[in-house]
Structure 1
């Protein structure tokens, strides 16, 4: 439930990969992926986003700017020892990495997204205007959990068992700011989309694929996983395809 990092080795040691977890989630949802890439020699960082990894109430104390700021800090750390850096994000982590990628487009070598969020969830509450969401944060501090949408039995992402209302409001604020930045992202993008995602509607993937500035962008469908696909049945498919993606963009 803390930041995790591992220095690479061999010919891939100076290629870094930053993996970012989702809303109410934690590093365990990304660490198996990170450990796989580290086993191939890559330098890897899996940060814990502010307001996560403790208790749900702590997400009510965080401003959205803290999430990309944390990712930016981790990115800067990777560039101290790496010549190339790739960034990957799951769900809200996808939105956060898109924000950061737009600000660092000329520095990054590629972006990998797994069921990324950019628009909204399927819940009725999420379709309310921002001012209405803000008012609700004063009356309902915690709501039902949005985590652990995993098909594999007995698997958990070690996330919160409740959703912080103010944290969710901050998330929607970040999405509103991030979407207009999509056209600034021109680096290669690999996007994984679960066809049976109970957390986010497919419009999130469609918006991102349509509005990205990248000409090199590919969408890979996952047929045997739910939202937290990095821990689900298609885990190996994500790992192997992301490895191929990174290898194809790594300079000699």
Structure 2
């Protein structure tokens, strides 16, 4: 049996990868597991949670999946991408998919554009309809400074492991991401040790890449990558473009 572990991002929930999970369930008979990291989910309770708690929770989910699955893939979104990378180094994962993985965070240019749009919507009386504002205002309010520090600690502690990744890896990044800048994908692509690596940029996608308008094409690419021997028939974007 094939198993697939999907890991959401910081202050997030399984909702962030839900469209991809639904697609994989529809087109495969894989066993798919989407854990909710400690302190995350519908109600954020991050106070007192350490970054090692997030890693340990994902590890336990992976080990349990490996009890019944001979082949296991790991998909990680945002902070979950860093956790997925860590797992790929320490466990016999066959393939790795990194979605908007947060090796770097905050894209000043795109974030400024997002803020400008929020300001315009405020003056128009339409802020209540701004999806970005509605999604992140609660997160900002309910995220303690200590949790942000733990997130930064996780990133700094896991980045050195990237060069130890030796399995086929597919990296995906939205060019309109205001949280994780495109340079994060390039950094990961250049740092990881494997020669079997692909990178794809989605021009109009923001941070929630699984919810972007081009997600069906993206999901097909991910399934193609995971289903073929090395994913070599994927569309490869030159790093020089």
**TM-score, normalised on structure 2?**
0.79
Q: Secondary structure at the match of 2:32?
A: strand
User: 8 Å contact 2:170–2:197 — kept in the other structure?
Assistant: yes
How far apart, in 1, do the equivalents of 2:218 and 2:58 lie?
21
Report how far residue 161 of structure 1 moved.
2.8
- 1:196 corresponding residue in structure 2: 176
Shift of 1:102: 1.6
Runs of 4+ in 1 over 3 A off after TM superposition: 153-160
> 1:185 Cα deviation (Å)?
0.7
In structure 1, what is the equivalent of residue 4 of structure 2?
Answer: 17
Deviation at 1:160, TM superposition (A): 4.5
Quote the RMSD (CA, aligned, Å). 2.1
Contact 2:104 2:180 in 1 (8 A): no
Q: Map Cα deviations across residues 37-57 of structure 1 (whole Å, 9 max, x no partner).
A: 12221110011011101534x
CA positional deviation for 1:158: 9.3
Structure 1: 5+ residue stretches without partners: 1-13, 124-152
Structure 2 CA distance for aligned equivalents of residues 164 and 112 of structure 1: 29
The corresponding residue for 2:219 is 239
Provide the rounded CA distance (Å) in 1 between the counterparts of 2:5 and 2:159.
21
2:123 aligned partner: none
| Residue 45 (structure 1) aligned with residue 67 (structure 2) | no
CA distance in structure 1 between the partners assigned to 2:42 and 2:178 by the alignment: 25
The equivalent residue for 1:87 is 74
Q: Are residue 208 (structure 1) and residue 188 (structure 2) matched?
A: yes
Residues 158/120 of structure 1: CA separation in 2 closer, same or farther (3 Å cut)? closer
Deviation, structure 1 residue 164: 2.5
Deviations, residues 18-41 of structure 1 (Å, cap 9, x unaligned) = 111111110111122112212221
Aligned residues: 205
SS of structure 1 residue aligned to 2:106? coil
Residues 25 and 159, structure 1, Cα contact 8 Å, conserved in 2? no
- Whole-Å separation in 2 of the counterparts to 1:186 and 1:233: 32
2:229 is the counterpart of 1:249: yes
- 8 Å Cα contact 1:16-1:82 kept in structure 2: yes
| Aligned residue in 1 for 2:120 | none
Deviation per CA, 1:194-231: give whole Å up to 9, x if none: 11111122221121111101110100111231111111
Q: Deviations over 1:82-124 (max 9, x none)?
A: 11000001111111111221212xx11100011100133246x
Per-residue deviation, residues 55-81 of structure 1 (Å, max 9, x unmatched): 34x212210001111111111111111
1:218 matched to 2:216? The reply is no
Q: How does 1:63-74 map to 2 (within 5 A)?
A: 63-74=50-61
Q: Is the 8 A contact 1:120 1:172 kept in 2?
A: no
Identify, as 1 or 2, the structure richer in helix: 2
The question of whether the paired residues in 1 share the 8 Å contact of 2:55 and 2:83 is answered with yes
Query: What TM-score comes out, normalization by structure 1 length?
Result: 0.76
Provide structure 2 residue ranges, at least 5 long, that are not aligned to the other structure: 109-129, 231-241
